[in-house]
Chain A
Amino acid sequence: MNASTSRRALLVLYTALVFVFIFAPIVSTVVFSFNADRFPSLPWGGFSLQWYEAIFADASIQRGLANSLIVAVATSAIATFLGFAAAYVDYRYRFFGKMAYISIVALPPTVPVVILGVAMLTFEGRIGLSGTLTGITVGHVVLAAPFAMALVRMRLADLDPDIERAAWNLGATPWATITGVVIPFCLPAIFASVFLTAAVSFDEFMIAWFVSGVNETLPVRVLAMLQGQVSPRINAIGALVFAVSMTLVVAAQMLLGRGGRRNAKEA
């Protein structure tokens, strides 16, 4: 009895330490982004929003943020569409080489991003996309679409194939069945994919660094700033990026959680 209580306490402590270890840098970034002092050291120099004011006044950061948002929104829309299409093909059809098809679609995240970035730069340089937001978006779609596919595929695994056939049987054409049955059923996964792929793009540094040229996204801008000087403004940007990414990921999780609970009830 006593042993199990202490084991439990140890487990809680251990878990807490893991979280501290993971989140300490992020927490310190957020904390020091509100520090009035120029240098991130204790004692705290008092609460201040000056670094936030500074970044919002900085045109290059504003441009970086705008670029990041444009790329994230475009990436999210395109990657989710492609991911859904890839997952539906997998769900609906049986064909020769299907395993290869799925493997290839799922491959990009396993390629080191440096390689992906160099490859994107070489390729896009040839077709004149390098240095454009379109170019960054293309790179991010390659990276994010597999996540979208995985999410939709997970949801489709719960769709009884007879449901689609029942729709045809009631006079729905295949297209009407996709829009009226398959997409509504996959909606939680589709929304989750929208948020998750946006987060992947918003955070992505390496491909953007290779491909962006003068059209820097926010992470690329941050690196450029770090190379020049260590400014507490970095902390403010870091806190903002963290907030945006976390919001997107948590939104995705909540949507998936709701879908999961509903399935559990049906079973």
Chain B
Amino acid sequence: MTGATAAPMLEIDRVAKRYGETVAVADVSFTIEKGEFIALMGPSGCGKTTTLRMIAGLDVPSDGEIRLWGRRINEDAPWEREAPLVWQNYALFPFLSVVKNVEFGLKQRGLPAAERRRKAMEWMERLGIAGFADRGVDQLSGGQRQRVALARALALEPEMLLLDEPLSALDPHLRVRMQSELVRLHRELGITFVCVTHSHSEAFAMADRVVIMSEGRVQQIGAPREIYRRASNRFVAEFVGGNNLFSGTASGAGEGMVRVDGPFGSALAPRPTDVEILDGQAVTLVVAADRIDLAAAPSGAGNEVEARVVTLEFVGSSVTVFLETTGGAELRVQRSLHQIENTPLSPGQAVFARWAQAEGFFLPA
């Protein structure tokens, strides 16, 4: 992340967007620093795409203000802005060749033909599509179209690039490649990327900061690690996945610790500094699935609950183990394939789930 010394590049200030009775964006505020890679993430209908479209000028906010370098741009027409967008469906011009597509924005700026051809070819070279210059866009594969869409936007050499679900239309193996290519481009160009995605793995893999949205509101803003390790509410904790949410009753447990008892068993966790937790209060304790160890016998250290393996789910090189505690609570643990191979688990097997006390944190009530 860049330092917050200068004014932020883009400010979204209490912005709302309503279509008649429908509220697409209720109240959204966040800032974007120059050169940042920001991901707007949330389930469909959360307002992330509308927010992006307002940044591009394709929608005008009903309320609030969008400022670019301190200047209000709410009403600036899209063609007056420099925020090229990479569309989810690419939105390439079907009647133009690849190179003419890439040149389109430069042509609007009145660049002479020779110069815009040179620039367009440069960007196509960079994105590995120079060989398709004279083809029609309908002769390209999805991945190639994606590159044309990127080249067309980047040829304008903007200070900010907008991406709307850039990877969702790609095959899974292309998605991963494109993901790292976007990260590389972002690093090399040093410009601001604002990317809308519904996938937390994409957002967390690419972005410097993630803005999590739901129902037209921002739920949490932070670096991927921060959000992953310290979800600020139940929605975020569930949406980012990989978290165990244990409900239980709190009681005092000495200096700086809270004891939680519930169907999952019982555990200790650090007492939060920002909210007060009273004895007997119902609380939700969050423990990341990849911070829990499994062992055949109790060790007596840290938090330990007894559980039975229900099933194992293999996804690539990671494995999610679903368990049920003796109290009947669901528990999931994420392991690497390597770890599972070393200590095989089978459904029905009794194990002890163990995590360090410091790993647990509480959701606000």
B152 contacts A170, CB within 8 Å?
yes
Judge whether A222 is part of the interface by a CB distance below 8 angstroms. no
Judge whether A39 is part of the interface by a CB distance below 8 angstroms. no
B 49-90 to A, binary, CB cutoff 8 A, 1 in contact else 0 = 000000011100000000000000000011100111101010
B104 contacts A172, CB within 8 Å?
yes
Chain B residues with Cβ below 8 Å from A266 are: 94, 138
Known: A162-B89, A181-B93, A266-B138. A168 touches B58 (CB 8 A): yes
B156 contacts A170, CB within 8 Å?
yes
A169 contacts B93, CB within 8 Å?
no
Known: A171-B105, A172-B79, A184-B95. A166 touches B138 (CB 8 A): no
Enumerate A46-79 residues with CB–CB distance to B below 8 Å. Answer: none
Chain A residues with Cβ below 8 Å from B185 are: none
> Smallest distance from the beta carbon of A235 to chain B beta carbons, Å?
44
Known: A184-B95, A266-B94. A165 touches B58 (CB 8 A): yes
A169 contacts B85, CB within 8 Å?
yes
Q: Which of A163, A166, A172, A173 has the most CB of B within 10 A?
A: A166
A185 contacts B95, CB within 8 Å?
yes
B156 contacts A163, CB within 8 Å?
no
Please, how many angstroms separate the alpha-carbon atoms of A101 and B87 in the complex?
A: 32
B78 contacts A168, CB within 8 Å?
yes
Known: A185-B94, A266-B94. A170 touches B89 (CB 8 A): no
Enumerate B157-190 residues with CB–CB distance to A below 8 Å. Answer: none
Please, how many angstroms separate the alpha-carbon atoms of A266 and B58 in the complex?
A: 26
Chain B residue with minimal CB distance to A176?
Answer: B108
Number of A residues contacting the other chain (C-beta, 8 Å)?
22
A167 contacts B104, CB within 8 Å?
yes
Known: A184-B95, A266-B94. A169 touches B89 (CB 8 A): no
Chain A residue with minimal CB distance to B155?
Answer: A170
Judge whether B338 is part of the interface by a CB distance below 8 angstroms. no
A163 contacts B138, CB within 8 Å?
no
Please, how many angstroms separate the alpha-carbon atoms of A168 and B104 in the complex?
A: 11
> Smallest distance from the beta carbon of A111 to chain B beta carbons, Å?
36
> Smallest distance from the beta carbon of B152 to chain A beta carbons, Å?
7
B156 contacts A160, CB within 8 Å?
no
Number of B residues contacting the other chain (C-beta, 8 Å)?
27
Judge whether B91 is part of the interface by a CB distance below 8 angstroms. yes
Judge whether A126 is part of the interface by a CB distance below 8 angstroms. no
**How many interface contacts (CB-CB < 8 Å) are there between A and B?**
65
B91 contacts A163, CB within 8 Å?
yes
Chain A residues with Cβ below 8 Å from B79 are: 168-174
Chain B residue with minimal CB distance to A172?
Answer: B108
**Residue from A162, A163, A169 within 8 A of B78 (CB atoms):** A169
Chain B residues with Cβ below 8 Å from A169 are: 56-58, 78-79, 83-85
Please, how many angstroms separate the alpha-carbon atoms of A172 and B110 in the complex?
A: 11
**Residue from B57, B58, B105, B138 within 8 A of A170 (CB atoms):** B105
A165 contacts B78, CB within 8 Å?
yes
> Smallest distance from the beta carbon of A117 to chain B beta carbons, Å?
40
> Smallest distance from the beta carbon of A1 to chain B beta carbons, Å?
42
> Smallest distance from the beta carbon of B75 to chain A beta carbons, Å?
14
B138 contacts A171, CB within 8 Å?
no
> Smallest distance from the beta carbon of B77 to chain A beta carbons, Å?
7
A163 contacts B109, CB within 8 Å?
no
Known: A171-B156, A172-B104, A265-B138. A166 touches B109 (CB 8 A): no
Chain A residues with Cβ below 8 Å from B92 are: 166
Enumerate B93-119 residues with CB–CB distance to A below 8 Å. Answer: 93-96, 104-105, 107-109
Chain A residues with Cβ below 8 Å from B85 are: 166, 169
Chain A residue with minimal CB distance to B162?
Answer: A169
B58 contacts A163, CB within 8 Å?
no
Chain A residue with minimal CB distance to B89?
Answer: A162
Chain A residues with Cβ below 8 Å from B105 are: 170-171
B104 contacts A163, CB within 8 Å?
no
Q: Which of B77, B96, B105, B108 has the most CB of A within 10 A?
A: B108
Chain A residues with Cβ below 8 Å from B91 are: 160, 162-163, 165-166
B108 contacts A171, CB within 8 Å?
yes
**Which 8 residue pairs across A and B have the least CB separation, nearest first?**
A170-B105, A166-B91, A171-B108, A162-B91, A168-B78, A172-B108, A168-B79, A169-B85
Known: A168-B78, A170-B84, A171-B108. 6 other contacts (CB 8 A): A168-B77, A170-B156, A172-B79, A185-B95, A262-B138, A266-B94
For this complex, 21 residue pairs linking A to B, each with C-beta atoms less than 8 Å apart, are A163-B93, A165-B58, A165-B78, A166-B87, A166-B92, A167-B104, A168-B79, A169-B57, A169-B79, A169-B83, A170-B84, A170-B152, A171-B79, A171-B108, A176-B108, A180-B107, A181-B93, A184-B96, A185-B94, A185-B95, A265-B138
